[in-house]
Amino acid sequence: MDTADFVVVANRLPVDRVVDADGGESWRTSPGGLVAALEPVMKTVDGAWVGWAGQADVQLEPFVANDIRLIPIALSAQEVAEYYEGFANDTIWPLYHDVIAPPQYHREWWDAYVTVNRRFAEAAAGAVAEGGTVWVHDYQLQLVPEMVRALRPDVTIGYFHHIPFPAHGLYAQLPWRDQVLRGLLGADVIGFQRAQDANYFLAAVRRRLQYNVKGAMVDVPGETGTRPVLAKAFPISIDTAPYLELIDKPEVRARAAEIRESLGNPQRILLGVDRLDYTKGIRHRIKAYGELLAEGRLSVEDVTLIQVASPSRERVDAYVQLRDEIELSVARINGDTDTMGHSAIRYLHQGFPREEMVALYLAADVMLVTALRDGMNLVAKEYIATRADNRGVLVLSEFTGAADELRQAIRVNPHDIEGLKDAIMTAVEMEPAQQGRRMRSLRRRVLEHDVKAWSSSFLEALAAVRSRRG
Ligand code: G6P
């Protein structure tokens, strides 16, 4: 295969391979916000995408899908267990999300992480043209920037970190903390979601490696002098166009009305949309809502909560446990409060296509984003994009990256259940005029700072640092 000027490296390809019961193969869009953010960028460049097809022990040749050249990386079942479910999602993920769940430290998992990162780096190094650009994404691949630089010193390397970077007191737990910092510093530009993440990273570099840090620039010592690396916030956003198109479609609007109808036409629909993950604060949200019903501040005749919890990382213990806890509390609340015509919570442990998500957003009067920690949270931005009539209220956790930008949301600390209950009541009772004032300002922000603004600002910074390096 020809080399490409622009190579994206991410744990997942933009499409997952799925095999049905009769052995038939098909492809479906990968989970998570990363793919949705990068796909529009890829369509505008001569690019290739290096990633995993989402199944163990599958060797695939490079192929083209939706005009993007895809380069699949094979992972054995043991690597899926040790690199993906283990080090990425049971060590780094909980550690970087403020140890909401306890991170597990296992040396074999680290070894698998190094091996798999090298495989991704070698594939990227083989795919990129002379003097081209490699853009590495997310916590699964933190060692790839340094590995690509060693193989291909001619290329420009960007890294974007989609999840939070933890405070030093937590980061210092990681037995391989110095290796990970050096891995990231192989990039020319390291992008974070929030200024806080970039600051924590720079503090870790100063304290652990004693490198010279001036503002957002790090001098990384090498054999031939020092190399400048920029570490800074570039808050990610969504591609607003498909949302704006869908909200004008009569069938999507009809579907929103149908959803309302099927819930018994409650006065208010509350909505939560998350991967089923302990970082998302789904339990806290359900607890607060359940108490409001129990105390009679809300009634099932008037309100319904739709909670979409899409299946995620289903073989990792912390996720198995969380699912049990959530499903127990949903069943209890519904059991205690449902009537024949009205249900307290409509719980859906399923993923849905974008059309259905937009219909849900249109049907929802209040959107609840109560994450205990979240890099950005694109669901908050998707909801806002769909509110063309400037109605609707967003309740947003201050522990999300989105909270830095979406100042007109109702801010909550999800650990404070009383505060969360009050915020839900404020949202449910908010007058249309105030909804409009807040939503107009939120929409302005999301429509102006869309995913194209995000990728151009990152890629411009990358070009600038590269030219400084000469
Ligand atoms: C988050 C991460 C992504 C990840 C996605 C889905 O958004 O930042 O890197 O792809 O979750 O998780 P999964 O483990 O299914 O890839």
Whole-angstrom Cα distance, residue 117 to residue 106? 17
Going from N- to C-terminal start, the domains of the chain cover: 4-236+452-469, 241-449
Write the pLDDT tens digit of every residue in 167-182.
999 999 999 999 999 9
* pLDDT score of 222 more than 80: yes
Whole-angstrom Cα distance, residue 143 to residue 9? 12
Determine the average pLDDT of the residues in 91-120: 98
Write the pLDDT tens digit of every residue in 376-389.
999 999 999 999 99
DSSP class of 61: -
Q: Judge if the beta carbon of residue 136 lies within 6 A of ligand 1.
A: no
Whole-angstrom Cα distance, residue 438 to residue 81? 45
Say what the pLDDT of residue 65 is: 83
Cβ 421 vs Cβ 291: under 8 Å: yes
* pLDDT score of 37 more than 80: no
Say what the pLDDT of residue 17 is: 84
Instruction: List the residue whose alpha carbon is closest to atom 9 of ligand 1.
Output: 138
Choose which residue among 279, 312, 319, 381 to substitute to test ligand 1 binding: the one with the highest number of ligand atoms within 8 A of its C-beta: 312
Q: Judge if the beta carbon of residue 32 lies within 6 A of ligand 1.
A: yes
333: its two tokens? 């609340």
What φ, ψ does residue 158 adopt, rounded to 5°? -110, 150
Say what the pLDDT of residue 33 is: 60
* pLDDT score of 409 more than 70: yes
* pLDDT score of 27 more than 90: no
DSSP class of 320: H
Architecture of 4-236+452-469 per CATH? 3-Layer(aba) Sandwich (3.40)
CATH fold for the domain made of 241-449: Rossmann fold (3.40.50)
Say what the pLDDT of residue 42 is: 84
Domains 4-236+452-469 and 241-449 share a fold: yes
Of ligand 1's listed atoms, the one at least distance from the Cα of 84 is: 14
- Report ipTM (2 d.p.): 0.97
Whole-angstrom Cα distance, residue 168 to residue 172? 6
Say what the pLDDT of residue 470 is: 60
Q: Judge if the beta carbon of residue 313 lies within 6 A of ligand 1.
A: yes
